[in-house]
């Protein structure tokens, strides 16, 4: 049994390594199923939107100048020259002194340059309206290119497709769209003490929880988890499993090996993979110090701690941006995640030279959001169950005092 | 053409109506695919977890009392009585004056009640270690029921399955789990001016964007969108389409009909559906005042404005909680969503008696997050494209001043 020897990598550096991994290929999907995917191409408008001057109100298409001076006390009178149906190019022209009935979304006829709201006019008979307001040219009208102008670069590669981006692609008339493939992420749990969850664990054994927590986490960040099974702590089977998984997946996560001996084994196995290089072996963070990141053939290989909470925290902070990055998401590193302010409910100690990620439960009392640290060893899944987010204690801090404001990164939610 | 007549429903009331809709049925899914689903049953622990006293460190299993008084200057000497492999029930007993090698995750042998970290001991030969610290009973040990105690109620129906909940179900040995079915949500776009997106819109026509924005939004909140097509503004075809969609879906969304005439048509059609009752016809909000909510046979029917941004905003604020509710999610109404503080960059006016949802773009400058309102008619999809969240101006406010703190609800993100 050897002592713990490894040099930690600065946290910024790991993101630089992550940024070097290649993205997945592309595929064409139906636009109805494109929400949440990452756009692979560029979208440039080939039309003006809406494409014609469009009313935003129910009312009357008028010439604005005909309404100048109109008021409740001194209405203007206009002749009705027709009605504009939805979904037609009107064949009427609004001449001076005339008005045409128009509904929201209708196309403005020739001559008209504004819409008088129905609330501000009355039909005194079938032929005539009186109007009580003045409108300026353009009032209640969307100009033909006011939403999108032809030849505008609308979306660039790497854009996360929210409903609005899907909508803009629909507006461009594209029922199918090219997106990046969802990365396939293999999971191998290592440890002689692990049994498949279907089995009752005898004393000394535990069920393989990490495969399931990681599969869920992978799925929730938009990738496809593949369970590659439980492998004992021996070189040959672990090497065979890792090589096989890597050939089938875009990324490989090994979890387990929290003891120094098995951690060494994980490193040995990764180093033996064709073309593999260890990039990170140890991070100045808690929990998760023994984290490993390696590269082989452009693919990332992660060695996560076996402790269930450690593996989940490292996943949230480091593996998720990596998955988002290889998913093609240019927002993968935005890292705006610690942004919900809350008041810390107890003192927390830390050590200079490392970042602590502390599990917290947020509780609202009297309109104030409090962050209650959920303490306990990182081998306890209960600590993650009770928590709904993380706070961070920085490198140069020796701790945080009760009552200070902290910023919470919430766990996944819709 | 009639004037606008409808009574608005208080915003709190709409959530009460939503809470009355029934959930979907249940189905059994593979636990590896359960992340993000809603648990339908209850999970009670049938075992202690980890199930045996477990080391959290690499080191030596000892009797704590043997280390009392040990220090760097005055080490204690213990005889090595064996090594504990991972995944075994040790057959050794640690007698007074003895110690056994143990790795992280290993099972404590009989007699031992603490673990001495490897860093605080040296093997002076194959038979003997010297230890430099004293440890208390329980040090570096997870007790057999410290994570989860047998017969604890762990998860209740309606729980969103995050990675940690999936993990706890794995720990209970359940490879499959009963969850609520994903709701199937039908979308009908109405309007004589709409054309399928594949077609080039002639003047006066526009492409059917809403089907796509809504499909993406539905998908991103965990439901299954079904496009039921574009229907013209006439009773018979709209009634037929609505009736057919409702028979196949758990919820129906009609979008379009922003003009009073077509809005009336939507109401007429909904009222004619078997067993249907209008619950809401008009909300004191902007955008989205003409929103309709109806009920038929326990299912919800939404009439959303045709304006693309209005429909999306109403979806985020009202339809999404409804989908989450019928998905079985007991957190559907948590409404903690407006919780990212930012500084408003310009004055905004509002009116008392209504809630304004203002699209904003958040920008960080010098460590401060600013919320820049994205203004423009709600018929413009560009206003949603440029925004990354919403802020709220309350019922009793006439507006907000530049420089005040506002709370932002972010649009969907991983």
Q: What is the ipTM of this complex?
A: 0.94
Distance (Å, whole) CA A317 – CA A357: 9
Which residues of A are less than 8 Å from B86 in CB distance?
191-193, 204, 233, 259, 262
Per-residue pLDDT averaged across B188-207, rounded?
95
Per-residue pLDDT averaged across A130-136, rounded?
96
DSSP 3-state of A235: helix
Is domain B26-47+155-180 annotated with CATH 1.10.10.410? Answer: no
Residue of A nearest to B363 (CA): A336
Nearest-CA distance A397 → chain B (Å):
19
pLDDT tens column, A122-132: 999 999 999 99
Per-residue pLDDT averaged across B230-253, rounded?
96
Residue of B nearest to A54 (CA): B204
Contact between chains at A220 and B162 (C-beta distance less than 8 A): yes
The full set of domain ranges for chain A reads: 11-25+182-326, 26-47+159-180, 54-142, 340-410
Contact between chains at B385 and A31 (C-beta distance less than 8 A): no
> What confidence tier does B262 reach under pLDDT thresholds 50, 70, 90?
confident
Residue A3 has pLDDT above 50, yes or no: no
* pLDDT more than 70, % of chain A: 97
Contact between chains at B204 and A52 (C-beta distance less than 8 A): yes
Which residues of B are less than 8 Å from A85 in CB distance?
192
Superfamily designation of domain B54-142: Molybdopterin biosynthesis moea protein, domain 3. (2.170.190.11)
Residue B339 confidence (pLDDT) = 87
Residue B187 has pLDDT above 50, yes or no: yes
> Please, what is the average pLDDT of chain A?
94
Distance (Å, whole) CA B387 – CA B342: 14
> What confidence tier does A414 reach under pLDDT thresholds 50, 70, 90?
low
Contact between chains at B219 and A339 (C-beta distance less than 8 A): no
Distance (Å, whole) CA A391 – CA A164: 31
* pTM for the predicted model, two decimal places: 0.95
- Can you state the angle between helices B235-248 and B260-272, rounded to 10 degrees? 50
> What confidence tier does B413 reach under pLDDT thresholds 50, 70, 90?
low
pLDDT tens column, B281-291: 999 999 999 99
Q: Residue A191: which of B86, B101, B205 has the nearest Cβ? A: B86
Per-residue pLDDT averaged across B139-154, rounded?
97
Per-residue pLDDT averaged across B142-163, rounded?
97
> Which CATH code for domain A26-47+159-180?
3.90.105.10
Residue of B nearest to A369 (CA): B339
Contact between chains at B320 and A414 (C-beta distance less than 8 A): yes
Contact between chains at A105 and B206 (C-beta distance less than 8 A): yes
Q: Residue B216: which of A107, A163, A364 has the nearest Cβ? A: A163
* pLDDT more than 90, % of chain B: 91
The 3-class SS string of A5-70 reads CCCCCCHHHHHHHHHHCCCCCEEEEEHHHCCCCEECCCEECCCCECCCCEECCCEEEECHHHHCCC
Give the CB-side neighbour count of residue B391, counting CA atoms within 13 A.
27
**Interface mutation target, options B58, B212, B257, chain A, most CBs of A under 10 Å:** B212
pLDDT tens column, B81-131: 999 988 889 999 999 999 999 999 999 999 999 999 999 999 999 999 999
Which residues of A are less than 8 Å from B116 in CB distance?
none
pLDDT tens column, A321-355: 999 999 999 999 986 689 899 999 999 999 999 99
* pLDDT more than 70, % of chain B: 97
> What confidence tier does B399 reach under pLDDT thresholds 50, 70, 90?
very high
pLDDT tens column, A77-119: 999 999 998 888 999 999 999 999 999 899 999 999 999 999 9
Q: Residue B222: which of A192, A233, A414 has the nearest Cβ? A: A414
Residue B1 has pLDDT above 70, yes or no: no
Greater pLDDT, B346 or B11: B346
Please report the beta strands in A143-183, taking only residues with DSSP state E, as ranges in sequence order: 153-155, 176-180
DSSP A209: -
Contact between chains at B381 and A119 (C-beta distance less than 8 A): no
Per the structure block, which two tokens stand in for A173? 């008339």
Nearest-CA distance A361 → chain B (Å):
14
Per-residue pLDDT averaged across A234-259, rounded?
93
Per-residue pLDDT averaged across A177-204, rounded?
96
Residue B5 confidence (pLDDT) = 45
Which residues of B are less than 8 Å from A405 in CB distance?
none
Contact between chains at A191 and B1 (C-beta distance less than 8 A): no
> What confidence tier does A402 reach under pLDDT thresholds 50, 70, 90?
very high
Please check whether residue B244 is in contact with residue B227, taking contact to mean a CB–CB distance below 8 angstroms. Answer: no
Per-residue pLDDT averaged across B340-352, rounded?
96
Per-residue pLDDT averaged across B265-275, rounded?
95
Interior/surface letters A79-92, b for 16+ CB within 10 angstroms, e for the rest: ebbbebbbbeebeb
Per-residue pLDDT averaged across A362-379, rounded?
94
CATH topology agreement for domains B11-25+182-326 and B26-47+155-180: no
Show Cβ contacts of residue B234 under 8 Å, excluding neighbours closer than 6 positions.
B265
Class for the domain spanning A11-25+182-326: alpha beta
For chains A and B, CB pairs below 8 A equal 336
> What confidence tier does B197 reach under pLDDT thresholds 50, 70, 90?
very high
Contact between chains at B3 and A210 (C-beta distance less than 8 A): no
Contact between chains at B87 and A225 (C-beta distance less than 8 A): no
| Alpha-carbon distances of B140 from A103, B102, B328, rounded to whole Å | 74, 11, 41
Residue A394 has pLDDT above 60, yes or no: yes
Residue of B nearest to A320 (CA): B414
Which residues of B are less than 8 Å from A86 in CB distance?
191-193, 204, 233, 259, 262
Which residues of A are less than 8 Å from B387 in CB distance?
164
Per-residue pLDDT averaged across A199-208, rounded?
95
Contact between chains at A167 and B87 (C-beta distance less than 8 A): no
Residue A45 has pLDDT above 50, yes or no: yes
Residue B258 confidence (pLDDT) = 65
Superfamily designation of domain B340-410: MoeA, C-terminal, domain IV (2.40.340.10)
Residue B4 has pLDDT above 60, yes or no: no
Which residues of B are less than 8 Å from A104 in CB distance?
258-259, 306
pLDDT tens column, A271-321: 999 999 999 999 999 999 999 999 999 999 999 999 999 999 999 999 999
Which residues of A are less than 8 Å from B163 in CB distance?
212-214, 216-217, 220, 312, 315, 384, 412
pLDDT tens column, B118-128: 999 999 999 99
> What confidence tier does B357 reach under pLDDT thresholds 50, 70, 90?
very high
């Amino acid at each position: 049994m050897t002592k713990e020897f490894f040099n930690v990598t600065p946290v910024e550096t790991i993101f630089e390594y992550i940024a070097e991994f290649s993205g997945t290929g592309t595929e064409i999907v139906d636009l109805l199923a494109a929400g949440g995917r990452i756009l692979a191409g560029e979208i440039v408008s080939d039309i003006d939107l809406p494409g014609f001057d469009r009313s935003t109100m129910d009312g009357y298409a008028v010439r604005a100048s005909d309404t100048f001076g109109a008021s409740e006390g001194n209405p203007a009178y206009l002749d009705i020259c027709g009605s504009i149906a939805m979904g037609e190019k009107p064949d009427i022209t609004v001449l001076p002194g005339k008005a045409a009935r128009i509904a929201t979304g209708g196309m403005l006829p020739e001559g008209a340059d504004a819409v008088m709201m129905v609330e501000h006019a009355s039909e005194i008979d079938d032929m005539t309206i009186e109007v009580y307001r003045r409108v300026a040219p353009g009032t209640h009208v969307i100009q033909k290119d006011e939403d999108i102008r032809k030849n505008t670069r609308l979306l660039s590669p790497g854009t996360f497709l929210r409903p609005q981006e899907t909508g803009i692609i629909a507006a461009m008339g594209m029922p199918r769209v090219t997106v990046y493939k969802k990365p396939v992420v293999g999971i191998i749990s290592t440890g002689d003490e692990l049994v498949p969850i279907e089995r009752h664990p005898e004393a000394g054994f535990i069920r393989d929880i990490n495969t399931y927590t990681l599969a869920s986490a992978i799925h929730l960040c938009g990738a496809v988890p593949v369970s590659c099974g439980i492998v004992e702590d021996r070189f040959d089977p672990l090497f065979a499993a890792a090589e096989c998984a890597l050939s089938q997946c875009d990324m490989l996560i090994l979890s387990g090996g929290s003891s120094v001996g098995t951690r060494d084994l994980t490193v040995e196995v990764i180093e033996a993979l064709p073309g593999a290089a260890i990039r990170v072996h140890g991070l100045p963070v808690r929990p998760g110090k023994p984290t490993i990141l390696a590269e082989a053939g452009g693919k990332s290989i992660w060695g996560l701690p076996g402790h269930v909470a450690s593996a989940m925290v490292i996943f949230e902070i480091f593996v998720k941006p990596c998955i988002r990055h290889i998913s093609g998401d240019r927002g993968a590193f935005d890292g705006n995640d610690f942004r919900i302010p809350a008041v810390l409910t107890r003192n927390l100690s830390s050590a200079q030279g490392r970042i602590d990620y502390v599990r917290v439960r947020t509780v609202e009392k009297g309109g104030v959001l409090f962050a209650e640290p959920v303490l306990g060893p990182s081998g306890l899944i209960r600590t993650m169950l009770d928590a709904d987010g993380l706070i961070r204690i920085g490198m140069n801090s020796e701790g945080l005092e009760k009552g200070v404001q902290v910023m919470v990164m919430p766990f996944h939610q819709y």
